[in-house]
Amino acid sequence: MSEITPDLVRHLASLARILVTDEEVEKLAGELGVIVDSVAKVNEATSGDVLPTSHPIPMTNVMRDDEIRPSLTQEQALSGAPDSEEGRFKVAAILDEE
Amino acid sequence: MSELVTKSASELAELIKSKEVSSKEVTETFFDRATDLNHLTLSYLHLNRETALAAAEAADKAQSEGKSLSPLHGVPIAMKDVLATQDAPSTAGSKILEGWIPPYDATVTKKVRAAGMPIIGKTNMDEFAMGSSTEFSAYGPSKNPWDLTRIPGGSGGGSSSAVSGHLAPLATGSDTGGSIRYPAAVTGSVGAKPTYGAVSRYGVIALASSLDQIGPVANTVLDAALLQDVIAGYDPMDSTSIVESLGSMADAVRTADITGLKVGVVKQLSSDGFQPGVKACFDDTVAKLSAAGAEVVEVDCPSFEYAVAAYYLILPAEASSNLARYDSVRFGMRVMPEGNPTIERVMAATREAGFGPEVKRRIILGTYALSSGYYDAYYGSAQKVRTLIQQDLAAAFSKADVLVTPTAPTTAFKLGEKLDDPLAMYLNDIATIPANLAGIPGISVPNGLAHEDSLPSGVQILAPAKQDAQMYRVASLIEQMYVGEWGAPLISKVPVLEAQNG
């Protein structure tokens, strides 16, 4: 039985900054429950002494020379912005008024 | 239908090189066909005649000056919409990026342009490459040219339908769990996922960074090899890019030889769960390899049983992090809620409106898998499964040069058939996912039509990491066996698409 409750879905959606309707919450709780029950079997496969793999091809730290190279102009960087002002990204208030 | 559109990319390149046709003539022919037929297949999200023909004219000019920029000089190509193109919208099939024109080209886009290849347009895909059918594209599903009521695979169904329907001679794809190989299998075309790091991911709209790889979509193994040669290579802009050259895939195809070849059949991916017609095609491929002199051995990969589960933890975890960038600030959509909202409310409203159902599902699943208290049980265990799969493959490759499996469990299913069952949709990638988890190369090659529905089936060839050349050699041998039997590639049997009202 899954532990994915509607309240948990609401909490996760808020962490992921996605507004969800009550209807979506109910639907997602059911769907995610089925998926989580299915993927939870990864626990059966592993024991403590297996090392995790984060990347398929082993790599050591990748360094490059600290050289100036071409980059986007301010205009290019702002070209896709929904709103900008005086060469900066413009956003709504960060904090509530109170 | 012009004779040109059924020619392979390598044949077109020869015709252009010998000046029997111009790049402009070829590009215009494909462009016009794509424009006429796109309402049937919805292969393309964006077509731009002006930029395509300008690039073709430039290729012709270079050619007339004796400059051939690559073995595919002048051959047009379709680009999956996951690749940044600074002269065309790049949306990854999502509403949240509708109309976004990137200020730079992806490295792959740059390489394609530098090879003298005109870009016809951008191809449709499941939103952010999450899906196996293109039904999760925010702009509507692509259709399979073999049967327009069926899916062309996903996420790269735009590219697979464009190439198999002769709306482009070549295309690019991105493969995170099978998004190049699965669409190739169900459309009777060829699709390859190179070794992780063989092709730059710079300028690729990221899904899961430790799994994503760009690769070729084509109608023949040689065409795929030629395109991989164009797009592969070290790129300092991608820190996971492989430094050493993996050699020429086209040379590998041209020197393919079966002598001494050992082929492994994966016990876990050769019997249960495959449609009988797909299984029959696969058994036939194995029998042909054996008859041609290859040694066939069975290999055991017990951890493959956990591959799909591990994948659907690792992918959502990485995607939930990668897709955090769609925050309504620097690019893409912004939705302003009523009143005087804070930026957090703007983000939440934007992401609600801009993301489709599968993307929301996976972001929330990934957020769960990474959350405190669950991390070790889910994400941590999934990463350990990844190690076990690599160990299984290392053992398998100690007994065989390459492994073969059916690419997909079934032939193309009907549009809508699996849309409401996420888990059923995920299982389409059961045979392709292990390669992404292990970073090894894989390719799908047509191996017949399934007897119950006369739809294409594909065989997947897997090789050890960085041995893409070996994979292409065996793919070419299998292709030659079938072309020898059929007298022509499978794609010659695809129904001819005709424009409606035209």
Range of the domain at A23: 6-44
The answer to whether the Cβ–Cβ distance between A16 and B320 falls below 8 Å is yes
Paired sense of beta strands B295-299 and B262-266, if any: parallel
Question: Whole-angstrom Cα distance, residue B311 to residue B222?
Answer: 31
Asked if A42 and B381 come within 8 Å (Cβ–Cβ), the reply is: yes
Contact A14 B390 (CB under 8 A): no
In a domain, residue A10? The reply is yes
Tell me how many domains chain A contains. 1
Confidence band, pLDDT 50/70/90 cuts, at residue B502: very low
Nearest C-alpha in A relative to B104: A72
- Confidence label for B451 from pLDDT (cuts 50, 70 and 90): very high
Determine which of B110, B237, B381 to mutate to test the interface with A (most A C-beta atoms within 10 Å): B381
Asked whether residue A25 is assigned to any structural domain, the reply reads yes
Q: Is residue A19 part of a domain?
A: yes
Average pLDDT, chain B: 96
Query: Judging by DSSP bridges, how do beta strands B119-123 and B44-47 pair with one another?
Result: antiparallel
- pLDDT at res. B500: 67
Between B104, B343, B465, which is nearest A91 by CB? B343
pLDDT tens sequence across A33-88:
999 999 999 988 877 789 999 888 887 887 888 999 889 999 999 999 999 999 99
Nearest to B330 among A45, A89, A93 (CB): A89
pLDDT, tens digit, 9 for 90 and up, residues B339-351 = 889 999 999 999 9
Report yes or no: B177 and B362 within 8 Å, Cβ to Cβ. Answer: no
CA distance B439 to chain A (A): 5
Cα(B40)–Cα(B165) distance, integer angstroms: 10
Which of B328, B362, B404 has the alpha carbon at shortest distance from B155?
B362
Given this model, what pLDDT does residue A2 score? Answer: 65
Mode of pairing for the β-strands spanning B442-449 and B456-462: antiparallel
Q: How do B262-266 and B402-406 pair as beta strands?
A: parallel
Residue of A nearest to B326 (CA): A17
- Find how far residue B330's CA is from the centre of its chain: 28
> Which residues on chain A are in Cβ contact (under 8 Å) with B317?
none
Helix (H, G, I), strand (E, B) or coil at A68: coil
ipTM: 0.94
Interface test with B, best of A53, A59, A74 (most B CBs within 10 A): A53
B376 contacts: CB under 8 Å, gap ≥ 6: none
Contact assignment for A16 to B364 by CB distance below 8 Å: yes
Q: Do A56 and B383 touch (CB under 8 A)?
A: no
Lowest mean pLDDT among A64-68, B121-125, B304-308: A64-68
3-state secondary structure of A7: helix
Q: What CATH number corresponds to the domain at position A38?
A: 1.10.20
**Closest residue in A to B424 (Cα–Cα):** A35
| pLDDT tens figures, B379-424 | 999 999 999 999 999 999 999 999 999 999 999 999 999 998 888 8
Assigned domain for A31 exists: yes
- pLDDT value at residue B273: 87
Residue A83 in domain = no
Quick one: which of B193, B120, B186, B129 has its CA closest to B156? B129
Q: What's the confidence (pLDDT) of residue B112?
A: 98
Closest-CA distance of chain A to residue B104, Å? 8
pLDDT score, position B423: 87
Of A38-42, B76-80, B232-236, B251-255, least confident by mean pLDDT is: A38-42
User: How many helices (H) and strands (E) in chain B?
Assistant: 16, 11
Any idea what DSSP says for residue B195? P
Contact present, B455 and B411 (Cβ < 8 Å): yes
The tens digit of pLDDT for each residue in A6-36 reads 999 999 999 999 999 999 999 999 999 999 9
> Which residues of B are less than 8 Å from A19 in CB distance?
348-349, 351-352
Q: How far is A74 from chain B (nearest CA, A)?
A: 11
Q: Which pLDDT score is estimated for A1?
A: 45
Six token digits for residue A72: 């986007």
The pLDDT value given to residue B196: 98
Strands B171-175 and B213-218: antiparallel
Measured between CB atoms, which of A4, A46, A53 is closest to B390? A53
Nearest to B364 among A12, A38, A40 (CB): A12
Contact criterion met (CB < 8 Å) for B336 and A92: yes
Catalytic residue IDs of B: 80, 155, 179
Looking at the partner chain, which of B195, B331, B382 has a beta carbon nearest the beta carbon of A80?
B331
Is the model more confident about A43 or about A5? Answer: A5
Domains assigned to chain B? 3-262+442-493 (3.90.1300.10)
Q: Which of B385, B391, B430, B433 to mutate to test binding with chain A, by most A CBs within 10 Å of its CB?
A: B385
Q: Do B196 and A56 touch (CB under 8 A)?
A: yes
pLDDT (0 to 100) of residue B499: 77
CA angle B425, B427, B431 (to 5 degrees): 135
Cis peptide before B70 (omega within 30 of 0): no
